[in-house]
Structure 1
Amino acid sequence: MATNAASRMLISCHTCSLLVRMPAHKPHDRSRCPRCSASLHIRKPNSIARTWALVIAAFIFYLPANLLPIMTVTSLGKTQSDTIMSGVIYLFLHGMWPLALVVFVASVVVPLLKLMILMYLLISVQCGSRWRPYDRTRLYRITESIGRWSMVDIYVVTILVALVRLGNLATIQAGAGAVFFGAMVIITIFAAMTFDPRLIWDNLEHSGD
C-alpha cells in the first residue's frame, strides 16, 4: 500500500497550504497551523454533505437567475427588461455574435457545467469510484479556477447601472435576476472550495492500492 501524508502524520493547512507534522499525542481537531493559526484537519470536515447542500442551493438560484430580468433599460421613456438569454439573442441579432458568445458561455454554460461536474465528483466519491483519479482531480482544479469568470454579467450590469443615469433619456437598473445570478455564482465558488479532492484518492487507498 502506498504511503500517504496522513500515515506519516502530515497535514496540509486548508488556508495557507503549509504542510504540518502533527504531534502523535495531540488530537487533530485541536491543532492549529503554526503559520496562519487556522484549524487543521486531515480532510475538510463534512465535505460531502456541505458541498451537496451548496450545489442544491446553487441549482435553486440558477432558475430565477435565468428566468428573471437581469437588467431594465429605460430609453426615451420606453422601458425594456432583459434576461440573460434575451440579452444574448439581442447581441446576436445585432451582429455582435462574439460578445453574445462570451456572455452565453460565461453566464449560462459555465455555471451549469460547473454544477454538473461537482455533482459528478460527489457521486463518484460516494460510490467509491476508482476510475481515473488523476483526471478527476484535474477536472476539479479546472472547475475551481474558471468559476469566477461567470461574474462577467454582474460586472457589466454594475458598470452600466453606475454610468447610465440620465433620467427618462436613458437609465439602467439592475433586475432581480442579477441578485439571484450573483448569489448562484458565489454559492458555486463556495461549493468548489468546500469539496475536498483528496477524497477522490481515498478510495484507492481504502481498496489497498
Structure 2
Amino acid sequence: MPTSAKQVGLKLCGHCHMVLPMQQSHCQRCHMRVHSRIPQSTQRCWAFIIAACIGLFPANLMAITVLTTRGAPQYETIMSGVISLIKDDMVSIAIVVFVASIVVPVMKLLGLIVILLSLHFHVNLDSRQRIVIYRIIDIIGKWSMLDLFVLSIMIAVFERNNLVGVEAGPGATAFGAVVMLTLFAAKSFDTRLIWDAQVE
C-alpha cells in the first residue's frame, strides 16, 4: 500500500505548495499557516449540505419566474415550468431544466452525504468508489448554473420581442443559493480524508 505524506511526517502548504515537516506550523517560503488537512472540513461540508437541503424547499415550492400577460401575473415553479414546456412541445428544454434544476442538486447532495456517512460510520466502501463519487459531483457541479442560464436567455428573448413580461421570482434566488451552497460543500471537503480512512 502506498505511503502517504502524513504517514512519513510531511504536509503541503496550500498556498505555495511547499512540502514541510509535520511539526512546522508556518510555511518557510510564504509564511502562511499550514495544516496537514483542511481544518473542520467535514463540519463545514455538513453545514453547507444542511443549508442546501433546507434551501431546496423554497427553491422548488416558490415561483422561479413571474410571467405577466395582459396585466395578469402567472407564477411558475420549477415543476410547473417543466410541465408547461412539455405541453408547449419543448421537451428538450424541459429535460434540461428538470435535470439541471432538480436532478443535479439532489444527486450532488446525496453523493456528498453518502461519502460523509461512509467515513463517519466506517462503512465498508472502497476509497476509489468514494473518490469516483466525489469526482462525478465535482464535474456536474460545473453545470449547476445551467438552469439559471436558460432562464436568463428566455427572459431576454421574451422582453426583447415584447412577447410577455418576465421577472425572476423568489424561487430563483433560493435556487441560486442552493447551487452556491452545494458548490461550497463540495469544495470545503478535503478528499485526503478518504484516503486517511483507508489506512486507519
Structure 1 length-normalised TM = 0.85
Instruction: Give the drift of 1:38.
Output: 5.6
Following the alignment from structure 2 to structure 1, what is the Cα–Cα distance between the partners of residues 101 and 10? 40
Instruction: Tell me the equivalent position of 1:3.
Output: 3
Instruction: Give the drift of 1:49.
Output: 0.8
Amino acid at match of 2:165: T
Instruction: Tell me the equivalent position of 1:109.
Output: 103
Secondary structure (helix, strand or coil) at the match of 2:55 reads helix
User: Over residues 107-148 of structure 1, what are the superposed CA-to-partner deviations in whole Å (9 max), with x where a residue is unaligned?
Assistant: 100100110111111101111234211121111011012123
Cα pair distance change 1:56/1:25, threshold 3 Å = closer
> Are 1:13 and 1:33, in contact at CA under 8 Å, matched by a contact in 2?
no
1:100 aligns with 2:99: no
Instruction: Give the drift of 1:15.
Output: 5.6
Cα RMSD after superposing both structures: 2.5
Instruction: Give the drift of 1:157.
Output: 2.8
1:86 aligns with 2:80: yes
1:126 aligns with 2:120: yes
1:31 aligns with 2:38: no
Secondary structure (helix, strand or coil) at the match of 1:149 reads coil
Cα pair distance change 1:136/1:77, threshold 3 Å = same
> Are 2:22 and 2:36, in contact at CA under 8 Å, matched by a contact in 1?
no
> Are 2:56 and 2:178, in contact at CA under 8 Å, matched by a contact in 1?
yes
Following the alignment from structure 1 to structure 2, what is the Cα–Cα distance between the partners of residues 76 and 69? 19
Secondary structure (helix, strand or coil) at the match of 1:7 reads coil
User: Over residues 69-105 of structure 1, what are the superposed CA-to-partner deviations in whole Å (9 max), with x where a residue is unaligned?
Assistant: 0001112333211011111111112211111111111
Cα pair distance change 1:85/1:201, threshold 3 Å = same
Following the alignment from structure 1 to structure 2, what is the Cα–Cα distance between the partners of residues 80 and 32? 61
Instruction: Give the drift of 1:196.
Output: 1.2
Cα pair distance change 1:25/1:132, threshold 3 Å = closer
Within 5 A, what are the aligned runs for 1:136-155?
A: 136-155=130-149
> Are 2:11 and 2:21, in contact at CA under 8 Å, matched by a contact in 1?
no
Instruction: Tell me the equivalent position of 1:156.
Output: 150
Secondary structure (helix, strand or coil) at the match of 2:143 reads helix
Instruction: Tell me the equivalent position of 1:72.
Output: 66
Instruction: Tell me the equivalent position of 1:22.
Output: 20
Following the alignment from structure 1 to structure 2, what is the Cα–Cα distance between the partners of residues 59 and 24? 37
1:52 aligns with 2:50: no
| Percent identity for Structure 1 against Structure 2 | 42
Instruction: Give the drift of 1:42.
Output: 1.0
Cα pair distance change 1:14/1:21, threshold 3 Å = closer
Amino acid at match of 1:56: I
Following the alignment from structure 1 to structure 2, what is the Cα–Cα distance between the partners of residues 32 and 63? 48
Structure 2 length-normalised TM = 0.88
Instruction: Give the drift of 1:7.
Output: 2.7
Instruction: Give the drift of 1:162.
Output: 4.8
Secondary structure (helix, strand or coil) at the match of 2:89 reads coil
Q: After the TM superposition, which segments of 4 or more aligned residues of structure 1 sit over 6 Å from their partners?
A: none
